[in-house]
Amino acid sequence: MKKTTLTKITLATLCFAGFGVTSAHADNFGSGGNSFSIQFADVGNAGNGNDAGAGGGIWSSPYGGVSYNYRIGVTEVSQDWITKATNLGMTNVTAGAWGASQPAANMTWYEAAAFVNWMNTSTGHQAAYQLNGTNTALTLWTGAQAWQAGGQNLYRHKDAYYFLPSENEWYKAAYHQNDGVTANYWDYPTASNAVPDGIDFSGDTAFDAVFDQGFLQGSPNAVTNVGSASAYGTRGQGGNVQEWTESSGDGVNNFPGEGIAFRGGSWPSLDNVMVSQSRSENGPQGSDANTGFRVASVPEPSSVAASLLGVGVLMARRRRRR
């Protein structure tokens, strides 16, 4: 019978193969009156294909293929989390467009990145982004320091646990059909190809997304009240507020200060801004009341190491059976 040899498996290989991914759960931050939790959804099916139908016009490159498993926030970051992080010592990050339960907005990309850095450093992890002291500029990591999974990313540190989702990570969580390692995607981030139903009157509780369907309201909803979920369980990736990604407009992330891609549309947007083919970009210093963000994460190194041990035990058992 053919022998099977257990070759050296790196942590990155395990991540790509889908090992070591924690179950969906809430991560806790802060303490006392300034404590808060962020619920994450697991995004599996590592190695799925790009959406070949995505993009149009000058944006002809497809999106959504991600070679590793990761987690992404179920909701947009709320104003409450920014306020509490500031109370706990985060500096040079302002928001305040909306109430505590509504999305954090009026934030530059640098400020969103600074909040992610605080998430990392306040929990004993490596900062994701090399920002200056006032959170107004970015310095690239070296190739040895930079994230390499899925291609070199000089914005993100290789050891970052929390980060802003890249455009591919954001896109997959929003539109992929969660049906295995496929290139199958929905048109809308509500697990559907049908135009979502919006809020059409005050007190409407049966809606798919928060956007302008002819009955424009004056502000976004609470981050927990945004309609239907994507196939991976995220909410509000269409409507409410449009969201910064981590990716530069050309997707290469090799030059600081470039325009940054954002997606999803906001409560004043029409439905065509939520569709998968729609994308825009803005300078990282730009901010407005329509733009927020969500966060993403990878498994703890300890959980990946545990999976490595489990794989070794399994392979050893298989050899003994032979």
Amino acid at 23: S
- Put the strands of the sheet holding 242-248 in their side by side order: 280-282, 260-263, 242-248, 291-292
Kindly tell me the burial class for residue 7, based on how many C-beta atoms sit within 10 Å of its own C-beta (0-12, 13-18, 19 or more).
exposed
Mean pLDDT of the chain, nearest integer: 86
- C-alpha 167, offset from chain centre: 8
In a domain, 10, yes or no: no
- How many CB atoms sit inside 10 A of residue 202's CB? 7
In a domain, 95, yes or no: yes
Identify the helix (H) or strand (E) that includes residue 131.
Answer: strand 130-131
Tell me: pLDDT of 76 over 90.
yes
Closest to 42 (Cα-Cα) out of 189, 225, 230: 230
For range 294-298, the mean pLDDT: 97
Encode pLDDT of 179-223 as tens digits.
999 999 999 999 999 999 998 877 788 899 999 887 778 899 999
Give the CATH number for residue 92: 3.90.1580.10
Q: Which percentage of the chain shows pLDDT scores above 70?
A: 83
Domain that holds residue 229: 46-321
Encode pLDDT of 16-40 as tens digits.
333 333 345 899 999 999 999 999 9
Rounded to whole angstroms, how far apart are CA atoms 185 and 171?
Answer: 10
For range 286-294, the mean pLDDT: 97
pLDDT band at 303 (very low <50, low <70, confident <90, very high): very low
Encode pLDDT of 133-176 as tens digits.
999 999 999 999 999 999 999 999 999 999 999 999 999 999 99
Global pTM value: 0.85
In a domain, 227, yes or no: yes
Q: How far is CA 155 from CA 62, 105, 160, 223, in A?
A: 21, 22, 11, 27
In a domain, 281, yes or no: yes
In a domain, 31, yes or no: no
Q: How many domains does the chain have?
A: 1
pLDDT band at 61 (very low <50, low <70, confident <90, very high): low
In a domain, 198, yes or no: yes
Tell me: pLDDT of 52 over 90.
no
Rounded to whole angstroms, how far apart are CA atoms 110 and 282?
Answer: 12
State both tokens at 184: 């199958």
In a domain, 72, yes or no: yes
In a domain, 107, yes or no: yes
Encode pLDDT of 95-131 as tens digits.
889 999 999 999 999 999 999 999 999 999 999 999 9
